[in-house]
Amino acid sequence: MPSTPPPAGANAHPDPRVGELRTRLETAYRASAEPPAKARAKLDAQGKLYVRDRIALLFDEGTFVEDGRYANATAEGLPADGVVTGRGEVEGRPAIVVANDPTVKAGSWGARTVEKMIRATEAALREELPLFWFVDSAGARITDQVDLFPGRRGAGRIFHNQVALSGRVPQICCLFGPSAAGGAYIPSFTDLVIMVEGNASMYLGSPRMAEMVVGEKVSLEEMGGARMHCTVSGVGDLLAGDDAEAIDLARHFFSYLPETWHDPVPHYEAEAPAVPLTRDTVPEAESVPFDVHEVIEGLVDADSFFEVKPLFAAELVVGLGRVEGQSVGIVANNSAVKGGVLFTDSADKASRFIWLCDAYGIPLLYLADVPGFMIGSEVERGGIIRHGAKMVSAVSEATVPQLCVVVRKAYGAGLYAMGGPGFGPEATIALPTARIAVMGPEAAVNAVYANKIAEISDPAERAAFVEARRAEYVEDVDLERLAADLVIDAIVEPEDLREEVVRRLRYAARRDRHFSTRHRSIPPV
């Protein structure tokens, strides 16, 4: 007869070593499940979420699978060695997360921390999975520097793998706290950096170090705070009010991107624009500034525009939107800010965004209302030529479908930087308000006839001469003439522009994406 089965949970041949191991594992598991009371109180005081609560907001419920939870479990006070890594799904799409735990030695890196991060990036490379970085770290532990810093499996391998992942899969960073020293490069290698205002910071050297080494007294917020990076340096892309908003923004941004560089871009149900584009949207006088967001909202599906770097170089607006449910990248001059003139920062902003869209197969729509690049000794000393050349290079090399819409003026190299006819767009479309020329009529007349104008002493005669030359110039660059000469492919009214864009993007979907045969370009950075 069969023997009586043992009670549930009991083993017929118990081994005390197994029981003791189970006890230790349970203790280690609990240690990384919740922060100590003191650490929890500090998180609450800072308005921060615990690392596992952050991950729960990122991934669909019940999909997270963790790796290396028992890292450094035999050491005291180092649960998971301060970083949580693993896989989950974001709206049904698989992704990897690397999340610092600031309750473990301020989220600092030890040797096993680094190994877990390397393994996560290797998995992302091997399996081509998007990678979310949840950064909140004081940097490397100096006591572990020999083990984590210089070797082949040292921290440098993380950056190497990030570069290998760039443009291959999306990398999105939520910066909840500090990102110090070498660790500050992790956000900079990602596609989007979201910083929580009041908590997030990035810096290569702390204020204390800056005072010691270079004699500068500066606050953390001034040197590397979230608002500074999102408004001045441009290293940050978006400001968030708290952890939950940052994660929501990360999920939202991801919804516009494919899972990998060779996957199709997600398509959503089409919606009509929130506000239709009309003939009243764009002022006909080119000297009257207006907010280009009004044009964007009239083109994209309702509430679908996701702006990137809105607080940085605001004379140029860049962001992702949906047109009939399809992701589209938008690059638009904003005459309401600095007249829409292109500066070094706006050129950099555009270049990075164009690279992003080109990497992930997202069509580009340029909305040109640009008097050109800024001139003067200050911008020349700041390298406006090489920054402008960088933007022109990005436009030239982009192989996704591109449409140039001349909203109003497109003067000088501004036309080139905004994907003009010479750069092979699918089409150059003009509104009736458009003007294309080397420069505006007033500047042109002054450049050509300055001496003649100076010779005319009578004010009325001088004004008549200037007006006559101006009329000649305007006639020379008349929009109908440009269309007749095939500079412009179509002239459409504002109310018809969205449908024109929709059709042309649909027909351009099979565009050949080869540009040039070579090892790589040498961009003028």
| Structural domains of the chain sorted by starting position, each given as residue range(s) with its CATH number in brackets | 32-256 (3.90.226.10), 292-434+488-509 (3.90.226.10)
Count of other CB atoms within 10 angstroms of residue 426: 20
Reference 169, options 187, 188, 190, 193; nearest CA is 190
Over range 445-456, report the average pLDDT: 85
**Quick one: pLDDT band at residue 351, thresholds 50, 70, 90?**
very high
Which residue would you say has higher pLDDT here, 186 or 144?
186
| Dihedral over Cα of 124, 130, 134, 140: its sign | positive
Give 6's pLDDT tier (boundaries 50, 70, 90): low
Measured in residues, the chain has a length of 525
Structure tokens at 322: 């949906």
Tell me what pLDDT residue 151 has.
Answer: 86
The pLDDT value recorded for residue 88 is 98
Written as six digits, the tokens of 332 are 């638009």
Q: Enter the tokens of residue 69.
A: 């939870």
Predicted confidence band at 13 (pLDDT cuts at 50, 70, 90)? confident
For residues 350-354, give the mean pLDDT.
98
How far apart are the C-alpha atoms of 442 and 386, rounded to whole Å?
A: 27
Q: Inform me whether the pLDDT recorded for 9 exceeds 80.
A: no
Pairing of strands 490-491, 435-437: unpaired
CA 171 to chain centroid, in Å, comes to: 10
- Mean pLDDT across the stretch 116-137? 98
Exposed / middle / buried, residue 159 (Cβ in 10 Å: 0-12, 13-18, 19+): middle
Q: Is the pLDDT of residue 147 over 90?
A: no
CB 369 within 8 A of CB 414: no
Cα separation, 321 vs 318, whole angstroms: 10
pLDDT band at 142 (very low <50, low <70, confident <90, very high): confident
Band the pLDDT of 3: cuts 50, 70, 90: low
pLDDT at 50: 98
Q: What band does 452 get if pLDDT is binned at 50, 70 and 90?
A: confident
pLDDT in tens, 294-315: 999 999 999 999 999 999 999 9
pLDDT in tens, 155-169: 899 999 999 999 999
In this prediction, what percent of the chain has a pLDDT beyond 90?
Answer: 78
**C-beta of residue 140 within 8 angstroms of C-beta of residue 105:** no
Question: If you search the block for the tokens 């606050």, which residue do you land on?
Answer: 219
User: What number is the average pLDDT over the span 455-473?
Assistant: 86
Q: What band does 473 get if pLDDT is binned at 50, 70 and 90?
A: confident
- 61-67's contacts with Cβ under 8 Å and 24+ in sequence apart are 63/88, 63/89, 64/88, 64/97, 67/116, 67/119, 67/120
* Cα-based torsion angle of the residue sequence 249, 252, 257, 259 in order, rounded to the nearest 10 degrees: 90
Report in angstroms the alpha-carbon separations of 514 from 401, 511, 518: 12, 9, 11
Question: pLDDT tens digit string along 185-239?
Answer: 999 999 999 999 999 999 988 888 888 888 888 888 989 999 999 999 999 999 9
| Residue 215, pLDDT score | 86
| Mean pLDDT for the stretch of residues 333-343 | 97
Q: How far is the C-alpha of 485 from the C-alpha of 436, rounded, in Å?
A: 13
CA distances from 210 to 199, 205, 216, 231, 232 (A): 20, 6, 6, 22, 19
**Residue 392 pLDDT greater than 80, yes or no:** yes
349, 417 contact by CB (below 8 A): no
Of residues 385 and 147, more confidently modeled:
385
Alpha helices in 309-440 (DSSP H): 344-359, 377-381, 384-397, 413-417
Q: What single DSSP character describes residue 241?
A: S
Nearest Cα neighbor of 254 from 50, 58, 505 is: 58
More confident residue, 470 or 522: 522
The pLDDT, as a whole number, for residue 4 is 58
Q: What is the mean pLDDT of residues 408-414?
A: 95
| Residue 275 structure tokens | 């506000």
pLDDT at 447 over 90: no
Distance CA 315, CA 346 (A): 7
3-class SS shares of the chain: helix, strand, coil, % to 5 = 45, 20, 40
- Residue 449's pLDDT band, with cuts at 50, 70 and 90, is confident
Residues 515, 336: Cα–Cα separation, whole Å: 35
Query: Which tokens belong to 304?
Result: 């679908």
Could you tell me which of 382, 247, 412 has the C-alpha nearest to residue 313? Answer: 382
Rounded CA separation 144/140 (Å):
8
> Could you tell me if 89 and 60 are in contact, meaning their C-beta atoms sit under 8 angstroms apart?
yes
| pLDDT attached to residue 268 | 96
Nearest to 351 by CA among 405, 400, 403, 388: 388
pLDDT at position 266 is 94
What's the mean pLDDT when you consider all of the chain?
A: 93
Contacts for 90 with CB less than 8 Å, ≥ 6 apart? 58, 59, 60, 130, 132, 251, 254
When comparing pLDDT for 450 and 321, which is higher?
321
